[in-house]
Amino acid sequence: MFYHAMLIKYAEIAIKGKNRYVFEDALVREITRTLKPLEGEYTVKKESGRIFVFCPEEYDYEETVEALKRVFGIVEFCPVAVYADQGIEKLCEDAVSYMTEVHPGYSGSFKVITRRALKTYPVPSMEVNAEVGGAVLQAFPDAHVDVHEPELELHIEIRDKIYIYSQSIKGPGGMPIGTAGKAMVLLSGGIDSPVAAYMIAKRGVEIEAIYFHAPPYTSERAKQKVVDLAKIVARYCGRIRLHVVNFTDIQLYIYEKCPHEELTIIMRRYMMRLAEHFARKDDCQGLVTGESIGQVASQTMKSLAATNDVCTMPVYRPVIAFDKQEIVEMSWKIGTFDTSILPYEDCCTIFVAKHPVTKPNINVIRGSETKLAEKIDELMAEAIKTTEVIDIRG
């Protein structure tokens, strides 16, 4: 079957009252952006409370479906066959030929649902339902009508042309990117933070990212892995500005001055401070991490509190209550898992103590940090100055 168009459905947006237009426009923009790299010219149009994607004369159906599955804000979408309006008899013929091609030999229950967007159409909806239903029954003698719980809904939408559809493909849901502000994701090479980035982006939040690397203790390949992960997430959210901070000197200095069992916590506090610096500079309204309660020593409630202590911006932790297995499953779904498990070193694992504190006392940690007074400001300024920003597009 050749599908001329896709009907885009977007429940959550529709209930947004006055904001509806803002959301629809954002969704049109996001769909347009996502389809742009594909072969051919797609037209995305708002038409009387609906969004349609009109496909080029020649296009790759599978690729188009895959692309639309990545656009946040789409709840579901329906491939539509479009026919010229040549009267009700021809409409019935077209509906039968649609059924023959899309559901050959159909023998289940069905219902015809007509929507007259073109109010001047001479035949009322109920009559179209009856006429088309009759024609389909004749062509498919084993099928039967069930108006309450049909297995198949045959939709006829009357516009300047006749739109016929019966299938629906699940979209990712959520809100279109650009409708909910901007956040800075602390993106490591692990499994959790790319999933966290995806989840926040799904709420319509534009994403920036920050990665702390520690050359020569962490390799160029470890950095490349984070770039690759950002690329995968950017397939959903469009563009990610990835900040790569050289964290080596700060880490070495903490290692030199502070108790080793507190290293991870103190290091994470400096990561947060630096992340917040760039977040403010770039107009982000929050930080995002892939932390999950109890996963490792630095993610007990007390450790999280100690890390959070230095933040003045809200810190969003979308996977906070997820089990590892649940996060893993999401990473399969979004396509980051295989990259996340590549075995490159992480700056956190290199300097970890054998017995890190699991119940840090915030005052003790603050006290330990005073030992850094001499050089830390200078090291922070240097880290900020040498930060590399990579513009990643999906």
- Positions that interact with Mg ion (CB under 5 A): 188, 190
How many angstroms separate the CA atoms of 308 and 272, rounded? 8
Give the nearest distance from C-beta 295 to ligand ATP in angstroms: 5
Give the nearest distance from C-beta 257 to ligand ATP in angstroms: 20
Give the nearest distance from C-beta 255 to ligand ATP in angstroms: 15
Give the nearest distance from C-beta 377 to ligand ATP in angstroms: 21
As a whole number of angstroms, the longest Cα–Cα distance in the chain is: 88
Residues in touch with ligand ATP (CB under 6 A): 186-188, 190-193, 210-212, 289-291, 295-296, 298-299, 346-348
Give the nearest distance from C-beta 270 to Mg ion in angstroms: 16
How many angstroms separate the CA atoms of 218 and 238, rounded? 28
Nearer to Mg ion by Cβ, of 27 and 271: the residue is: 271
Nearer to Mg ion by Cβ, of 188 and 251: the residue is: 188
Among ligand ATP, Mg ion, none, residue 298 binds (CB under 5-8 Å by kind): ligand ATP
| Phi, psi angles (nearest 5°) of residue 267 | -60, -45
Among ligand ATP, Mg ion, none, residue 219 binds (CB under 5-8 Å by kind): none
Helix (H, G, I), strand (E, B) or coil at 71: coil
Give the nearest distance from C-beta 194 to ligand ATP in angstroms: 7
Nearer to ligand ATP by Cβ, of 133 and 194: the residue is: 194
How many angstroms separate the CA atoms of 242 and 375, rounded? 27
- The tokens of 138 are what? 């004749």
Among ligand ATP, Mg ion, none, residue 30 binds (CB under 5-8 Å by kind): none
Nearer to Mg ion by Cβ, of 174 and 190: the residue is: 190
CA distances from 219 to 110, 246, 280, 296, 347 (A): 60, 12, 29, 23, 10
β-bridge pairing 286-288 and 315-316: parallel
Nearer to Mg ion by Cβ, of 180 and 187: the residue is: 187
Give 293-300 contacts, CB < 8 A, sequence gap 24+.
293/320, 293/321, 295/192, 295/324, 297/264, 297/356, 297/357, 297/358, 298/264, 298/265, 298/268, 298/348, 298/356, 300/358, 300/359
| Phi, psi angles (nearest 5°) of residue 357 | -65, 140
Nearer to ligand ATP by Cβ, of 95 and 304: the residue is: 304
Question: Please, what is the Cα angle at 314 between 359 and 247, to 5 degrees?
Answer: 65
Give the nearest distance from C-beta 347 to ligand ATP in angstroms: 5
Nearer to ligand ATP by Cβ, of 44 and 392: the residue is: 392
Q: Judging by beta carbons within 10 Å of its beta carbon (0-12, 13-18, 19+), is residue 234 exposed, middle or buried?
A: buried
Among ligand ATP, Mg ion, none, residue 212 binds (CB under 5-8 Å by kind): ligand ATP
